[in-house]
């Protein structure tokens, strides 16, 4: 029995909400609009569109895109993020990169991995040392089953910061998908030493223990995950793995 989960479960670099960027520094209307986009996107959409119609420029358009993202309208959000990044020619490269990265996140959520990777690659041309965007692109590449390319991106992050738990556990999962289990185990152990209670770490570490033949160890790790993080996606995956493990044990009797 192969225990596999989608790397999309570990959405580290993809924020739950689209954050403000440095495109209109000190603009209270922009800051308030972005806060409302995250707290009440239905109300924010009407306000953002009205502000856009009154000449709010790139800041207003970015708030519209963020609101659409938070409403789950990922395709429309992605297109608007790209439009904003294209229009803001005078904005700092890091700001344009951040908006393109948000477009990549939206395309990723829309399950259009080709366009997600294109947006993230464009963002990295503007911000070639941005670890968050490298992690985002690694998840997109892994989602497209380009695991070795994903590992290359994660290598860049870990070479800069060897203690980046999210990158370590993502690389462990990617190594697992290419059956490089010793390398996967090395990364999972490093992540576990750094963050022994994080749900994604416990889930992946347990999976690797199972694949390496340590059924009792896997069970204890997954039970710990259920105790600490009941109701989370990682705990749900751990519960399914435990149920499959019980079936295997029963069949072996």
Same domain, 203 and 171: no
CATH number of the structural domain spanning residue 70:
1.25.40
The pLDDT of residue 9 is above 60: no
Would you say residue 6 has pLDDT above 60?
no
In a domain, 190, yes or no: no
Whether the Cβ atoms of residue 164 and residue 157 lie closer than 8 Å to each other: yes
Are the CB atoms for 110 and 78 separated by under 8 Å? yes
> 1-5, 89-93, 95-99, 214-218: which range is least confident on average?
1-5
**Tell me: the pLDDT tens digits for 86-133?**
988 888 999 999 999 999 999 999 999 999 999 999 999 999 999 999
Residue 107 lies in a domain: yes
pTM beyond 0.75: the answer is yes
- Do 104 and 139 share a domain, yes or no? no
Based on the fold, state whether residues 140 and 113 are members of the same structural domain.
Answer: no
**Domain co-membership, 113 together with 135:** no
The answer to the question of residue 42 being in a domain is yes
Tokens encoding 117? 């990777």
80 and 36 share one domain: yes
The residue from 123, 155, 174 where one domain ends is 123
In tens, the pLDDT along 34-80 reads: 999 989 999 989 999 999 999 888 889 999 999 999 999 999 999 99
- Which structure tokens are listed for 47? 């306000």
> How many other C-beta atoms are found inside a 10 Å radius of the C-beta of residue 179?
10
At 20 the pLDDT is 66
Same domain assignment for residues 36 and 86:
yes
Q: Is 59 a member of any domain?
A: yes
Instruction: Return the pLDDT at 23.
Output: 65
The whole-number pLDDT of residue 51 equals 92
28-39 helix and 41-53 helix, angle to the nearest 10 degrees: 150
> What mean pLDDT is predicted for residues 17-34?
74
Q: What is the mean pLDDT of residues 203-217?
A: 95
Residue 6, domain member (yes or no)? no
Instruction: Tell me how far apart the alpha carbons of residues 174 and 188 are, in angstroms, rounded to a whole number.
Output: 11
The total number of structural domains that make up the chain: 3
Distance, in Å, from the CA atom of 28 to the CA atom of 68, rounded to the nearest integer, reads 20
170 part of a folded domain: yes
Domain boundary among 76, 101, 123: 123
User: Are residues 86 and 158 part of one domain?
Assistant: no
Same domain, 85 and 42: yes
- Whether 1 is covered by a domain: the verdict is no
Q: What is the mean pLDDT of the chain?
A: 88
Residues 87, 51, single domain; the answer is: yes
5 domain-assigned: no
For residues 119 and 104, what is the distance between their CA atoms, to the nearest angstrom? 5
Q: Do 141 and 108 have their domain in common?
A: no
Domain range for 234 is 196-253
d(CA 63, CA 217): 47
Same domain, 205 and 171: no
- Region 136-159 average pLDDT: 96
Same domain, 72 and 151: no
């Amino acid at each position: 029995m192969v225990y596999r989960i989608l790397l999309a479960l570990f959405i580290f670099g993809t924020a739950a909400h689209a954050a403000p960027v440095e495109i209109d520094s000190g603009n209270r209307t922009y800051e308030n609009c972005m806060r409302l986009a995250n707290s009440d996107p239905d109300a924010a959409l009407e306000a953002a569109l009205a502000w856009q119609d009154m000449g709010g420029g790139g800041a207003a358009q970015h708030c519209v895109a963020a609101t659409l993202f938070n409403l789950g309208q990922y395709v429309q959000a992605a297109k608007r993020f790209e439009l904003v990044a294209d229009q803001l020619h005078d904005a700092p490269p890091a700001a344009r990169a951040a908006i393109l990265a948000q477009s990549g996140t939206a395309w990723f959520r829309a399950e259009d991995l080709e366009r997600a990777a294109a947006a993230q690659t464009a963002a990295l041309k503007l911000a070639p040392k941005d670890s968050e965007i490298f992690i985002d692109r690694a998840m997109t590449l892994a989602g497209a089953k380009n695991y070795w390319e994903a590992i290359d991106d994660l290598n860049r992050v870990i070479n800069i910061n060897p203690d980046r738990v999210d990158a370590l556990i993502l690389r462990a999962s990617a190594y697992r998908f290419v059956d490089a289990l010793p390398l996967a185990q090395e990364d999972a152990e490093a992540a576990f030493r750094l963050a022994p209670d994080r749900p994604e770490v416990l889930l992946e570490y347990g999976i690797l223990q199972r694949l390496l033949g340590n059924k009792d160890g896997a069970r204890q790790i997954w039970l710990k995950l259920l105790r600490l993080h009941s109701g989370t996606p990682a705990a749900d995956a751990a519960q399914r793995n435990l149920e499959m493990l019980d079936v295997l044990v029963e069949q072996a009797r």
